Structures are given as structure tokens and as C-alpha cells.
Structure 1
Amino acid sequence: MERILRWVSEQTGSGVDTVTPLRGGWTSEMRRVRLVDGREVVVRSFVTEFFRRHAEGLLDREAGMLRALADVGSVPAPRLLAVDSTGSSGEAPSLVMSLLPGAVDVHTDRSTELAEQLVAIHRVQIDPRPREFQVWVVPGQVRVPEATNRPEVWARAVEVVARELPPYDGVLLHRDFHPGNVLFDGDQVSGVVDWVETSWGPADLDVAHCSTALALLHGPEVGLRFADHYVAAGGQLSGELRHWQVLDALGFAPDAEKVAGPWRDLGRTDLTPGVLQDRLETCLQQVL
């Protein structure tokens, strides 16, 4: 960390005063850094072997999006201050960005505010367009939970995603939009973070991903209502939302531990493996 902090100091033109780890993520280490001149910034570093291998593409993509969103008032993204996507200047590939006000809220159903913010993201015009979206699940490689009492639900879900992808009109996708990547200051969205998976594709896919996360956090009924909030906020869906919802939900199979860990760190200790599996399966069953 010493070399990374030295690089941060060089890039910001100020010495480092204090460093505070931030909770809520699992792909990278996030730190809040207070500089000697009083400014506060956030440093994102990819330290695990898997993400270090992909860090250059991830951080270059995030840096490009933060530059593109710098003057987009409807999307409160951090300001890019520096990026070292190869890790040549420090111990790990890292990015420095401005600190946004507010905090993640995984305790309250914020579906209305989330939907309004997602509509605003989808309306942003980027030139050149980002890469085409990637599918995060392969039908033949879906891992069904061993203890499931609803094997028929999983079998039907795999059949759905094995079909050809539905046609769509593309929009700018955050691609990992969920309550863990949105900051709230009171009742207002004060920040949208984690732009490493930004891509171009169907609005339905972002809606589906947030729906699954809400279902895991607050129950299937909350998750499945998110699409209605999105449409009420002015968003447009393709008419093939079911396919994208199933596709996204299968990406969490056989469980949702990778997202539940950070949520538990934020106080959601009620999200046990059993609760998460039941909510994921119930969500899939209701969608189907």
C-alpha cells in the first residue's frame, strides 16, 4: 500500500494524511484517503490474482466512462483524478477518484429512486459507444444448487436462456447497477459508482440485474416490481424482459454469496445462504 499511496500523492499533488478502508465491495479494495491539503479521494485497487489479470481493461473502461460523465449532470459519477491500469506505479492496478457524499443503503427499499436514476443513465449518449454487453452465464455451465427442492424451476430457466437472445435497441448500460453501487444522501441519489462493466445493450438487462439484487435484499415481490418503477419513471423495455431476468438470475447460481458477503458487512446479517437461495429460486419461479 505504501507505493500506491506514494503514487496517489504524486498524482494529487498533496501528501496523504489518513487512510480508511471502505466496505461494500468484493472485486477490489476501496480506500478513503484524506490528503494533507484537506481533500478526500477514493482509491480503488485490484489486488486478487483474477482481477489483476483483467484490471487493465476494467480500469481503462471505468476511467473512460468517468471522463465521459464528467459533464453529465443527471448522473452523479465520481471525477477521475488518476489511473494506473497496469499497476506499474504501485503495488496493484489502481484508480483515484473524487469522494462523493452519501452512503450505500442496503436496508431500505429505494426502488423508485433507483429506477429514476437508471432511466437517466440509459438516456446518456456516448460517442464512441462502449463495447457490446457480455453475457455472464453459459446455459451448459449453470450450477444448480445441490439442496434445491425446485429442480424443475432451474431446468426451465436453463431452457429459456438456451434460446437465441431477443432483439433489442441498445442503450448505455451500467451493467452492474444495484443498491450496492448507488449512494444516497438523505432521500436523494448522490452517487453512482463502479463503472468497470459499462457496455452497450438492452435496457432490460440493467433492469433485470437490479431486480435480482432487490429480490435478494428485500424479497422477490420487491424485485419483480422494479420493472414497473422503471417504466413509471419514463424507461422503455423491449417486451422480452423475462428472458433477461432469467439470464441475470442464473448468473447468481448456485447462490448469491459473492454479493451477500459485502451486504452482511453493511449490517444485513439476516441474509443467510438459505434465505438467499429461497429468494433466488422464488424469483425465478415467479418470472417463469
Structure 2
Amino acid sequence: MDQIYEVTSDIKAWLQKSLGAKSEIKELIPLKGGTSSHLFEFTAVRDGRFEPFVLRLFTLEEWLAMEPDLAKHEAASLREAGKTGLTVPEIVAFDETGEFCGVPAVLMTKISGEVVLQPDDEKHWLKEMAAALSKIHLHKAEGFGWEYFAYNDALKMERPVWSSCPDEWMRAFRIVAGIRPHAEFCLIHRDYHPTNVLWEGAQISGIVDWVNACRGPAGIDVGHCRLNLALLYGIPAADGFLAAYEQAAGEKFTYHPYWDLSALVDFAEGTPTVYPGWTAFGVAGLTDELMRHRFDGYLLNLLKRFDR
């Protein structure tokens, strides 16, 4: 989010209480790439040790109106994600209703690494991301309190005036509104894409941004990542990721294009624009016109899979 958000004295007091009265909290620095909440990183000195933390403030009123339990959800998601064996942030404290911070808030540990959107070895990059996602999906998360739902109602989607192939979009909406293929539920990240994967050198150091995690079909996670890759780099990157995921997951995963199409419809409302997170991490050359072109191209590519 581009606008500046002030960390109030009440928020600082809550951080102090959460980390211990004797802790010394250093300056809070805004993190780049956040588009639906405000994120800050800071260091706290506790018992002579310097420890890094991240504070998330849920400030988007529209999102809170739809999901008022976001802070509680993220806290539970981080605990559940910790069972996957992957490196994820650890929950420290959360303010569920904004009683202490003015807005719902989550305090978590900060894991090391950086976002890589222009890899030196794309094939290795895709392979590692696919392997990490397949590991998430091995965890069934039985009893986890949040389950998958589509972000858009395909039956209510309107004919896209921006598209050069609106009839094909209407076909996609009809397919997604139809009968879903059977899929076993597991833990899904629900927002798995390259800006939520951290790297140290050629290896993934951690996965972040678990606020949307839930139990659901693995295919929707694969489809969401593929959509991001198709928009960022083109269809070959999306197909490369699918091939890498199928190899990593083996017989535990059966591909169905329905979930790719459903992931696409989830983000097909309104005219496509460049995702600010990509430019925040240094990707240049993307335009809204290119996004519209790639949305259409990816749609047509997916529909061909239904004609085979």
C-alpha cells in the first residue's frame, strides 16, 4: 500500500507488552510489496539478543468487512503452516479486533531471505517453488477452521468490455460455475506466488503471507501461482511451473484445468492492471495493456485444455 500509515503510541505499547517490558524496540520500517495491509519490520533487543520481527496492520476496510477475523486467521494459519516442515514466520501475538492497536494486528517473527523475481536460472527457480508448494500440500490440516471458497461468483461475472475475446470469457464463467471436479482437501497457502517466497542464494529460505491459508484443493494453489507466472513472464513459465509441480507431487496430484480456470476467474473482475508488488520488487516493462493481452492469452490457452 502506497499511503503512509502512522504507527501510533498505542501500537508501540502493545508491541512492548507483547515482547516484554524490558525489550528495546528499534525503529519500525515499512516493508515494500504490501497491497492489502501495512507491514513493518523492526528489531527488538531482548536479553542482549537482537531479534527481527514483522508487524502487520489490517487497514483495508473492505477486506475487514468481508473477513473480520483476519488477525485470528493469520495467527492460526502460521501455527498450522509451521507443521509443514517449511520455514515460516512464527506468531508472537495478535490483536484480533483492534482493541489495543486501533486496527487488527499480527506480530510475527521475521525470517531471512529476499524476494527474487528475475532469477538467473528460471528452471531451477520454478522447480524449487513447485517443490515447496507440494510440501505444503502434503499436510492435510484436518480440523483447521478455515476452508476454501471462490473469491468471485462466476454466475455473476459480467462480460468483460476490456477483452478482445469476451465470448470466451463468458464460456469460462459458465465452466467455473458448473460442477467442480472432485479434489481431496489439504492445507493450501491460497496466495502462493513469487513475491511470497523468500530466497537465500539458490535455495528457498521461507514462505510468507499466510493470512489466506485454508483447507482446499491443491489445484487452486497451483493455478494461482501459474496465473501470476503467466502475467509476469508468459505462458511458458506457467507451464514450466506445472510440469515441475507434477514431478514434485507425483501420483498424489492429478491435474485438472478447472482449477486453473477457477484461479483465473478469481482475479478477472475489473480491467486488468499491473500488480504493484511486482514493480515494488524491481520488475520493469510491465504495462496494463500487456496485462490485458496476457489475461486473454492465458484464458485461451486454458480453454484449449477443455477441448482435448
Q: Under TM normalisation by the shorter chain, which class is it?
A: over 0.9
Equivalence for 2:129: 114
Q: How many correspondences in the alignment?
A: 285
Structure 1 residues 72, 224: closer, same or farther in 2, change over 3 A? closer
Q: Measure the CA separation in 1 of the matches of 2:82 and 2:55.
A: 18
1:71 deviation in Å? 5.1
| Residue number among 94, 97, 100 corresponding to 2:111 in the alignment | 100
The more displaced of 140-149 and 199-208 is 140-149
1:152 deviation in Å? 2.7
User: Where in structure 1 are there 5+ consecutive unaligned residues?
Assistant: none
The more displaced of 229-238 and 117-126 is 229-238
| Residue number among 13, 16, 29 corresponding to 1:6 in the alignment | 13
Q: Measure the CA separation in 1 of the matches of 2:271 and 2:129.
A: 24
User: Where in structure 2 are there 5+ consecutive unaligned residues?
Assistant: 1-6, 304-308
Structure 1 residues 105, 7: closer, same or farther in 2, change over 3 A? same
Equivalent position amino acid for 1:233 in 2: A
The more displaced of 137-146 and 79-88 is 137-146
Q: Measure the CA separation in 2 of the matches of 1:129 and 1:111.
A: 29
Q: Measure the CA separation in 1 of the matches of 2:140 and 2:161.
A: 44
Contact 2:84/2:135, CA 8 A, preserved across alignment: no
Contact 2:44/2:51, CA 8 A, preserved across alignment: yes
Matched, 1:131 2:132: no
Matched, 1:87 2:98: yes
1:230 deviation in Å? 0.5
**What are the within-5 Å matches in structure 2 for residues 147-158 of structure 1?**
147-158=162-173
Structure 1 residues 263, 200: closer, same or farther in 2, change over 3 A? same
Equivalence for 1:62: 74
State TM-score, norm by structure 1.
0.92
1:100 deviation in Å? 0.5
| Residue number among 244, 260, 263 corresponding to 1:245 in the alignment | 260
Equivalence for 2:56: 44
The percentage of counterpart residues that share the same residue type is 31
Equivalence for 2:65: 53
1:125 deviation in Å? 3.7
Matched, 1:220 2:207: no
Work out which structure has the larger RCO, using CA pairs closer than 8 Å and 6 or more positions apart in sequence. 1
Equivalent position amino acid for 2:177 in 1: A
State TM-score, norm by structure 2.
0.86
1:34 deviation in Å? 1.7
Structure 1 residues 56, 156: closer, same or farther in 2, change over 3 A? closer
Equivalent position amino acid for 1:57 in 2: D
Structure 1 residues 267, 143: closer, same or farther in 2, change over 3 A? farther
Equivalent position amino acid for 1:214 in 2: L
Equivalent position amino acid for 2:227 in 1: T
**What are the within-5 Å matches in structure 2 for residues 178-189 of structure 1?**
178-189=193-204
| Residue number among 182, 187, 202 corresponding to 2:217 in the alignment | 202
Q: Give CA-to-partner distance per residue, 1:65-113, whole Å, 9 cap, x none.
A: 222343542x111011111111111121110111100111222342111
